[in-house]
Amino acid sequence: MKIGIVCYPTFGGSGVVATELGKALAAKGHRIHFITYSQPVRLDIFSENISYHEVKISNYPLFEYAPYESALTSMLVDVAMHEGLDILHVHYAIPHASVAYLAKQILISKGIYIPVVTTLHGTDITLVGRDSSYEPVVTFAINQSDGVTAVSQSLKNDTYANFHVCKDIEVIYNFIDLKRFSKKPKDHFKRAIVPGGERLLVHTSNFRKVKRVEDVIHVFEKVNRVIPSKLLMIGDGDERVAIEKLCRDLNLCDDVRFLGKQDAIEEILSVCDLFIMPSASESFGLAALEAMACQVPVISSDAGGMPELNVHGVTGYLSKVGDVDDMARNALKILKDDNTLNQFKHNALKRASEFDINRILPLYEAYYSKIIQSVKAEV
């Protein structure tokens, strides 16, 4: 198949999923065209089956806000026409679903019908999309997509609960490349970070409010009082300055290291004992899946799709959003002795294997074929 993929090219989960999906489809012989405003961060390979089309945005002085949507639409029309796309898969509804709709209409006016699949990822539904400044467009664009997928059952339910969506939504879970995300022999790194054999806790995110990063610090502070431990904070974002201040206020600076944005995240996860994800909202929790694949159990909130990934008492524990006492208690249960910790690590990997990309990829391929066939039957 010739597949166009539109996504945010950043470290965010939707961009990661879209890029890894495109890479894996290309490896199976599909022809993939990424259409984004800069090179996706995970697009780190050369493949004869992958092309990257950069959307150029005019900076004419009249524009206080550059018309990105118009530039993206034009690029979609151009790529669809000249590369003969079979299907267009857009990730994150805003603005990609409405851009795809407009591109589809322009192509119809030229006698070309390109089916559009929209994948809903999380905040496009649970946070941003519900805002009245976007909601009518999001609802319309989802309903106009030929196919709609969501990354968890919880996100599917949220979509029906918050939008007047009449389309069937197919749940296709996030996935993991277990060749890349596996425990790597990085003992020298571990010895450098925890020379005294302390337990090593970790959090990765974009440090936005929705991630409740302050809860990570409070949980760590409670764990650290009982078990000698260190915390690695990976990522960057709006909340980072406040979180660093919180660490200073709680006198935790010697035990908390801020590593910023990292590419080889699997190498860091490989030396960690516990992942903390206290998010207020999380449609799936891809970062937790990455940790689990590297044999790191998860302490998380029970928000959104987290219970569909993190199995309470098996791969980690779930707590109510904001209940840092419960999260700390659960963390201590896992970290208290090596036997228990090793059992949780084993369980985390076993669960992560259920989301192996080799299992999920055929679901996307089958879904594309179904949508292409149903559109052909209608046209």
Q: Is 90 in the site for ligand GMT (CB under 6 A)?
A: no
> Taking a C-beta distance cutoff of 8 angstroms, is the pair 334, 341 a contact?
yes
Q: Segment near ligand GMT (CB under 6 A), from 10-18, 179-187, 251-259, 367-375?
A: 10-18
For 374, other C-beta atoms within 10 Å of its C-beta total 13
Cα distance between residue 153 and residue 301, in whole Å = 17
> Taking a C-beta distance cutoff of 8 angstroms, is the pair 12, 206 a contact?
yes
Residue 15 or residue 129: which is nearer to ligand GMT going by CB?
A: 15
Q: Is 291 in the site for ligand GMT (CB under 6 A)?
A: no
The binder of ligand GMT chosen from 154, 281, 310, 319 (CB under 6 A): 281
Residue 280 or residue 375: which is nearer to ligand GMT going by CB?
A: 280
Q: Segment near ligand GMT (CB under 6 A), from 205-213, 215-223, 344-352, 361-369?
A: 205-213
Q: Running DSSP on this structure, what letter comes out for residue 344?
A: H
Q: Is 283 in the site for ligand GMT (CB under 6 A)?
A: yes
> Which of 373, 377, 368 has the alpha carbon at shortest distance from 30?
368
Crossing angle of helices 13-27 and 357-378, rounded to 10°: 80
Q: Is 92 in the site for ligand GMT (CB under 6 A)?
A: yes
Cα distance between residue 174 and residue 285, in whole Å = 9
Q: Is 89 in the site for ligand GMT (CB under 6 A)?
A: no
Helix (H), strand (E) at residue 260 = strand 256-260
Residue 150 three-state SS: strand
Residue 30 or residue 121: which is nearer to ligand GMT going by CB?
A: 121
Q: Which two tokens stand for residue 364?
A: 């996307």
Query: In this structure, are strands 256-260 and 274-277 parallel, antiparallel, or unpaired?
Result: unpaired
Residue 37 or residue 113: which is nearer to ligand GMT going by CB?
A: 37
> Taking a C-beta distance cutoff of 8 angstroms, is the pair 299, 330 a contact?
yes
> Taking a C-beta distance cutoff of 8 angstroms, is the pair 311, 317 a contact?
no
Cα distance between residue 339 and residue 158, in whole Å = 39
**Contact set for ligand GMT, span 126-145 (CB under 6 A):** 126
The binder of ligand GMT chosen from 123, 145, 295, 319 (CB under 6 A): 123
Count, residues near ligand GMT per rule CB under 6 A = 22
Q: Segment near ligand GMT (CB under 6 A), from 14-22, 217-225, 267-275, 292-300?
A: 14-22
> Which of 129, 167, 145, 133 has the alpha carbon at shortest distance from 283?
129
Q: Segment near ligand GMT (CB under 6 A), from 119-127, 132-140, 189-197, 344-352?
A: 119-127
Q: Which residue reads 């709680």 in tokens?
A: 250
Cα distance between residue 269 and residue 186, in whole Å = 10
Residue 229 or residue 283: which is nearer to ligand GMT going by CB?
A: 283
Cα distance between residue 200 and residue 193, in whole Å = 8
Q: Segment near ligand GMT (CB under 6 A), from 39-47, 105-113, 122-130, 365-373?
A: 122-130
Q: Which two tokens stand for residue 109?
A: 């006016």
Q: Segment near ligand GMT (CB under 6 A), from 51-59, 117-125, 194-202, 347-355?
A: 117-125
Residue 297 or residue 305: which is nearer to ligand GMT going by CB?
A: 305
> Taking a C-beta distance cutoff of 8 angstroms, is the pair 359, 175 a contact?
yes
Binding mask 163-202 for ligand GMT (x = CB under 6 A): -----------x----------------------------
Beta carbon of residue 17, minimum distance to ligand GMT (angstroms, whole number):
5
**Contact set for ligand GMT, span 30-69 (CB under 6 A):** none
Q: Segment near ligand GMT (CB under 6 A), from 12-20, 77-85, 178-186, 214-222?
A: 12-20
> Taking a C-beta distance cutoff of 8 angstroms, is the pair 333, 312 a contact?
no
The binder of ligand GMT chosen from 30, 96, 121, 203 (CB under 6 A): 121
The binder of ligand GMT chosen from 9, 285, 297, 316 (CB under 6 A): 285
Cα distance between residue 211 and residue 198, in whole Å = 25
Q: Is 286 in the site for ligand GMT (CB under 6 A)?
A: yes
| Contacts with ligand GMT, residue ranges (CB under 6 A) | 12-15, 17, 92, 121-123, 126, 151, 174, 206, 208, 210, 279, 281-286
